[in-house]
Chains A and B, each alone.
Chain A
Amino acid sequence: MNRVAVALCAALALAGLGASAGLVLPARWRSAAVGAATVAAGVAGAVAGAAAVSGTGWQVRVAGLLPLAGVTLAVDALAGWFLLLVGGVAAVVGVYTVGYTGRTGRGPAARGALALLPLFVAAMLLVPVAGSVSTFLLAWELMAVTSLLLVLSEHRHSPAVRTAGLWYAAMTQAGFVVILLGLAWLAAAVGGESFAAVRAGAAELSPLVSSGVFLLCMAGFASKAGAVPLHPWLPRAHAEAPSHVSALMSAAMVKLGVYGIVRVAFDLLGGGPRWWWLLLGAVGAVSALYGILQAAVATDLKRLLAFSTSENIGLILLGLAAAGLLAAAGQLAGAGAALAAAFLHTANHAGFKALLFCGAGSVLHATGTRDLDQLGGLSRRMPVTTGLVTVGALGAAALPPGNGFVSEWLLLQALLHQVPAGGTVLTIAAPVAVAVVALTAGVGVATFVKALGTGFLARPRSAAAAAAIESPPTMLAGMGLAAAVCTGLAVVPTVAAPALDRIATGLRVESAPLHGSGIDLRLAGIASSISPLWIAVGVVGIAVGFAAVARAAGRPRRRARAWDCGDGPLTARMEYTATSFAEPLQRVFEDVLAPEQDVDVTHSAESAYLVRAVEYRRRLPDRVESRLYRPVIVAADAVGRAACRLATGSVHRYLAYMLTALVAVLVAGVLR
């Protein structure tokens, strides 16, 4: 029997087993059992994905499983990539969950919350393997509902969790409806609902239908992916969900939004006119810039990571847009590189964001706060966590030798080397995109220096941070696994070359966009190359060498008081906090961020010239949310209130409404 089929069935079965274990077992064993089942399901999913990206396909139709349409599964290299990604993240997070949820049996360790975790993983594994519109929609909705319930697992803990759940529920359901409309329209237009039938019939679609389907699906998928301006659920849900759920959502679930865009736009519709890609690129550029700017000024560690997710999704969408645009212009070498960049970045982001969300979870676990202004001093108390988070931050900041750097390098190569004859649009779009990527990268470095430097270094700024202790071994093991994957992707990204080759060929772009000897990373048709392994070895080796020589040659270090201008010992209150660190950036980008600042000066009672207290408050509301969503919410609220008048509470009246509606439908039918 097919390897993919066996592994996939095993993954689903293990997930089911994990869910029942979560429901049945006592609190003492629950976390360990569910964690183990999640790891096993994740590993099985990853095995299925690995088999699929190495060329094993699988298709099956089970007619009886669902009424009307049945269930169709189809696994190709594209699905395999996302299976691998979801499975890998699930395995890492599964290990972490054991320690994170613990044995309390409450909150995220409650029966329902734990039972849902393997189900959520199973739903995410089903999304990429769905082979027909109805199966896809079913899996998508299953994923949305399980993730929503998981976000709400700590709803007793604070009202912010409930607000986050409401936003997420509203936006994910709106997104689902839009995708449903798009895919149903597509299926109706081609007269078949399996993806194979859609693919075959897409060539004859009218431009109106294909563009309409593209717009609807893109809106739905981009909102799931957290692209600006459809992102407001993301910083709330990611921040308020339990950290292992945040890691799963940010590292795996939002990638399925990217999968949806690729599946529909590249595969099912087979590409489209230039404006599709320009629109997608614009969304990507805005997401990247706005996301990283919001992350740069965020003081909540998980909110920072959530906005950084928007940023990375923006970069991925930029890569996809470049691939589409270049492919449409016939520049297949650039298109292949851009596609490889986008896909590699999905994997890289999954690696470092799983690691970083788990790290944020460890900080929360140890101190009870996510506020960077209240943290600090963790590097001495939680050295292993700090080291692992540093690996993740290196990747997220896209600095060499981190893993994010490789995919950003690929994206830049694709943008730099479009042939000048590519036309006006490309000539203008390419430098703008390069500038966006560059500014994003620069601000990204500042953001993660801030997260690491003010969160983990120097001395603690609160009692909770001072009392922090290192996380339990299972949490460290989960993060260690993620760090190992990040390091592997950073040093030998060429391992992904065969998989990217199959995906690109399957999407009818360039075949074999990446190649190389395992050390050098080369591109098809572009004369640039790097060797990530050499860079990593060089930086680490030379640094260690210099440190060793300096240590041997110089005198030993002595601890002493820091320079305090001769004015008594420094206290933690004098340190730079996350807010003060980001202040220059906030001022430079004041026009974009529109911060709200209040300064209240209280004067002494004796004289107006003596100041007793100065109070400074700064708020950085999400401007997109307040400008774009508030009016909609207010309008919806008004409509709702107006509609209240229709519902008086009289049963007769309600029955009369129903009768009227029925009669109206029948009359309409007769008249037609």
Chain B
Amino acid sequence: MTGAANTQLLNLACGLFLLTAVGVLGRRELSALIGLLTVQGVALTGIAVLLAAEQRSGEVAAVAVGVGILKAAVLPWLLRRILHRVPEARETAPLVNVSASLLAAAALTLLAYAAARPLVALAPSPAARAAPVGIAVLLIGFFLAATRRRAISQIIGVLLIDNGIAAVAFLATGGVPLVVELGVSADLGLAVLVLQVLTTRLQAAFGDTDLDDLRELHD
């Protein structure tokens, strides 16, 4: 593959990666959110594969395969299982309304772009230039987790944060050591499992998964 075409594809994958994060903020149906997360996982895998192809590195390719299996298949599957157990299908009343969330996403992207300038200046390669995308997704993930009520939305927020970190790691440093990625993935799997248990318990205790109900435990 030629370098120019590779860069084009990388840019497209990064664009898709960011777009799915924005889309997550724009949709209300929880199943649509999981679908978008799956697409984002595919885009992240694409980024990893393209980097592996560019560096002709077996280790990066192995990480790419691992990322693909985890983010595009396992985690969405787990989330769908949780979704089947709870009755809510929609994020009905987010703390910040959808239009404002989208505008906030725009502002966070601008911030990410500004904040990543020194990082880009450090290693001005085409991949590093796309690193702000990862930071933007990370910030959007935080925003999502902070402003949504449903437990599943919050899990998705956490997963966005992780995707963002992974993307920054890939783009800025050209790949992550296999061990690190394995550790992070194990952590994530654990987090999702814990949240699954939490969701089921919440459902049993309060009848829905609005995390604001947890405040009652404090009183």
Q: Which residues of A contact B (CB under 8 A)?
A: 424-425, 427-428, 432, 588, 591
Contacts and interface: CB of A to CB of B under 8 A. Distances in A.
B182 interface: no
B114 A428 contact: yes
Nearest to A432: B110
Interface string B95-128: 0010110000000001001100100000000000
Contacts of A432: 110
A428 B110 contact: yes
A424 B100 contact: no
A428 B132 CA distance: 13
Nearest to B100: A591
A591 B113 CA distance: 27
A428 to B, nearest CB: 5
Contacts of B113: 424, 427-428
Nearest to A431: B110
Contacts of B99: 588
Interface of B: 97, 99-100, 110, 113-114, 117
Contacts of A425: 114
Contacts of A588: 99
Most buried by A among B100, B110, B113: B110
12 contacts: A424-B113, A424-B114, A424-B117, A425-B114, A427-B113, A428-B110, A428-B113, A428-B114, A432-B110, A588-B99, A591-B97, A591-B100
Given A425-B114, A432-B110, 4 more contacts: A427-B113, A428-B114, A588-B99, A591-B100
Nearest to A425: B114
Contacts of B110: 428, 432
Chain A binding site: helix, strand, loop or mixed by DSSP? Answer: helix
Most buried by B among A424, A425, A427, A591: A424
Contacts of A591: 97, 100
When A and B form their complex, which 9 residue pairs have the shortest distance between CB atoms, in order from nearest? A428-B110, A424-B117, A424-B114, A428-B114, A591-B100, A428-B113, A432-B110, A424-B113, A427-B113
B83 to A, nearest CB: 30
Nearest to B103: A435
B132 to A, nearest CB: 11
A428 B106 CA distance: 11
Most buried by B among A428, A432, A588: A428
A286 to B, nearest CB: 15
A436 to B, nearest CB: 12
Contacts of B114: 424-425, 428
B109 to A, nearest CB: 10
A369 to B, nearest CB: 36
A591 B104 CA distance: 14
Nearest to A423: B117
B114 to A, nearest CB: 5
B130 to A, nearest CB: 16
B93 to A, nearest CB: 15
Contacts of B100: 591
A28 to B, nearest CB: 60
B24 to A, nearest CB: 22
Contacts of A428: 110, 113-114
A247 B69 CA distance: 69
B138 to A, nearest CB: 18
A428 B97 CA distance: 24
A428 B117 CA distance: 12
Nearest to B117: A424
A427 B113 CA distance: 10
A425 B110 CA distance: 10
Contacts of A424: 113-114, 117
A435 to B, nearest CB: 9
A425 B114 CA distance: 8
Nearest to B96: A591
A588 B99 CA distance: 9
B118 to A, nearest CB: 10
Nearest to B110: A428
Nearest to B111: A428
A83 to B, nearest CB: 42
A424 B111 CA distance: 10
A427 B117 CA distance: 11
Contacts of B97: 591
A428 B113 CA distance: 8
B99 to A, nearest CB: 8
A282 to B, nearest CB: 14
A428 B100 CA distance: 19
A536 B117 CA distance: 45
B212 to A, nearest CB: 20
